[in-house]
Amino acid sequence: MALASVLQSESVDFSNYGRQRHGFASGLYEAELGLESVGGDRLSFALSTSCSNEDGPDRKIEFLHGTTTLAFKFQHGVIVAVDSRATAGSYIASQTVKKVIEINPYLLGTMAGGAADCSFWERLLARQCRVYELRNKERISVAAASKLLANMVYQYKGMGLSMGTMVCGWDKTGPGLYYVDSEGNRVCGDLFAVGSGSMYAYGIVDSGLKQKDLTVEEACDLGRRAIYQATYRDAYSGGQVNLYHVHSEGWTRVSQSDVLMLHQQYQAEKA
Amino acid sequence: MKICLKIVSGHFYGDNGKMKEYHYTGPVEHRFSPYSFNGGTVLAVAGEDFAIVASDTRLSEGYSIHSRDSPKCYKLTNTTVIGCSGFHGDCLTLTKIIDARLKMYKHSNNKSMTSGAIAAMLSTILYGRRFFPYYVYNIIGGLDEEGKGAVYSFDPVGSYQRDTYKAGGSASAMLQPLLDNQIGFKNMEGVQHLPLNQEKAVQLVKDVFISAAERDVYTGDALRICIVTKEGIKEETVPLRKD
């Protein structure tokens, strides 16, 4: 499997045993953020043990996970906006998480779900994209990159990976945006919002995108506003809004704004 | 995501944290658990040209204390210290693996690993056990290539990021807000953001652990502080509450 080839794994394969992660944590920092895949369809005849707060695929209680990430295509490329909060239960593990992973200078990946899963597999994707470039002497397309990622995680389907990511970039067919998750979904689209705050974000972006031909400035404001509103209403999203713009030359980091500052700014504008 | 507030030997606690009835009848599945929780708190702070990694030295399990002198900071190189708390068995194995990998790197590359490289390597080591994780909360403290203090905090499966300060382990939820306020100046208005110097940082760490020992049963006995500067690593031991 891909994992074993990257890491010279000297440990015994406990994959059958380790399906259920035992968390005795009164330490809390599992840094789960964002969308968790619905793996609860498997039948389980085992009685729940006393420590049944399990995060494995047999999980019965659906937890809403803390994150809001969104990306949308527009005339001048793709806007990617994310929050920066990581929660472990009701403890905020960090307010400064980087949920946008820079795969290469023209491809971005967002992070929702298990932080380690997202950052590991997207880092592996960066490696695969580079190998593609070296072999084929041209940049990889967004469709191909997202397919590589989807195929990599599909091998681990059902084993408890949790990853909901959007692969955003610009290739020779123009702006590209794909949603890939650990369930095996891979969809192309113009607008995605992922996470517990996604519904709030969708509301803002859907109403703002009505007018065609947004300028870069307007699109950035729309993305920022959408994440801000999501952090306002969703307890599990917050921290800062990180905004990226993907255009024909690659991606640029537009801004990082603290949500409290944005709040004061919008209040002032209202007045 | 869950928080398990019950203690490890919690035969008496049900799923939702309420006490179970003693006369429970019916089948109960018992299962060997490869993990146990040994407690302990770790803290790391990065300064302009120094880094501090501190941990208590209590090793507990359930209601018992196994040892009062089991520090959780391990020296990796001259410029890096790691603090590991959680399940002591995995802490030991993990530090052995890191030491071995450091040696291998030194032999093949003829130089010591930098703090950032150690952090990236630890992330892949932890993720290699994604389906049977090391139950360890790691925090690395050290100096980066420019000589500035660096702190890297991890989750049990390898997600990591660089911070200025981080608390991990059993009392982390008590310490982190205090650090946010005193080092990060969060939620304070009209305060000068003074940079942290080494003496103030060490004093703050001592005070913060004294507070943690007051309110967390798994933290106490003694505090081991490792101060990393370009001159090397200095260790200090401070007594804490033993109850």
Contact A34, A111 (CB under 8 A): yes
Residues 108-127 of A with CB under 8 A from B: 114-117, 119-120
- Is residue A41, in this structure, part of any structural domain at all? no
The pLDDT of residue A51? 34
The CATH number that applies at residue A153 is 3.60.20.10
- Which tokens is A59 given? 């999980």
A173 is catalytic: no
A22/B87 Cα distance (integer angstroms): 12
Q: What is the DSSP letter of A198?
A: H
Query: Per the structure, how many domains does chain A have?
Result: 1
The pLDDT of residue A29? 34
B66 CB neighbour count, 10 Å cutoff? 13
CB proximity A1 to B under 8 Å: no
Residue A190, classed as helix, strand or coil, is coil
In terms of Cα–Cα distance, which of A18, A54, A24, A49 is closest to A39? A54
Ranges of chain B with pLDDT below 50: 1-10
Pairing of strands A240-247, A191-194: unpaired
- Is residue A254, in this structure, part of any structural domain at all? yes
- Is residue A13, in this structure, part of any structural domain at all? no
Rg for chain A, CA atoms, rounded? 19
The pLDDT of residue B189? 81
A98/B154 Cα distance (integer angstroms): 14
CB contact under 8 A, B15 and A23: no
Name the E strands within chain A: 32-33, 69-74, 77-82, 86-88, 91-94, 100-104, 107-110, 113-114, 164-171, 174-181, 186-188, 191-194, 240-247, 250-258
Residues of B in contact with A26 (CB under 8 A): 3-5, 7, 37, 170, 218
Our CA-based measurement puts residue B225 at a distance from the nearest CA of chain A, in whole angstroms, of: 21
CB proximity B15 to A under 8 Å: yes
Quick one: B63 exposed, middle or buried, by C-beta within 10 A (0-12, 13-18, 19+)? Answer: exposed
- Is residue A96, in this structure, part of any structural domain at all? yes
User: Which residues on neighbouring strands pair with residue B175, listed in sequence order?
Assistant: none
- Is residue A30, in this structure, part of any structural domain at all? no
Polymer length of chain A: 271
The pLDDT of residue A4? 53
Contact A55, A63 (CB under 8 A): no
Polymer length of chain B: 243
Contacts of A98 by beta carbon, 8 Å cutoff, 6+ apart: A84, A111, A242, B161
Contacts of B203 by beta carbon, 8 Å cutoff, 6+ apart: none
- Number of C-alpha atoms within 13 angstroms, CB side, residue A233? 15
**Residue B31: which of A49, A96, A119 has the nearest Cβ?**
A49
A65/A36 Cα distance (integer angstroms): 7
User: Which residues on neighbouring strands pair with residue B68, listed in sequence order?
Assistant: none
A28/B166 Cα distance (integer angstroms): 13
**Among the options A49, A67, A173, A215, which is catalytic?**
A67
Ranges of chain A with pLDDT below 70: 1-65, 211
Residue B188, classed as helix, strand or coil, is coil
What's the predicted TM-score (pTM) here? 0.80
Strand order in the sheet with B160-163: B73-77, B80-86, B136-143, B149-154, B160-163
Q: Domain range spanning residue A239?
A: 69-269
The H or E element containing residue B65 is: strand B64-67
Quick one: B32 exposed, middle or buried, by C-beta within 10 A (0-12, 13-18, 19+)? Answer: exposed
Contacts of A23 by beta carbon, 8 Å cutoff, 6+ apart: A30, A51, A53, A54, A55, B2, B4
- Is residue A20, in this structure, part of any structural domain at all? no
- Is residue A61, in this structure, part of any structural domain at all? no
Nearest CA in chain A to B41: A27
Cα–Cα distances in Å, from A249 out to A106, A239, B46?
7, 29, 36
- Which tokens is A117 given? 């899963």
A110/A232 Cα distance (integer angstroms): 21
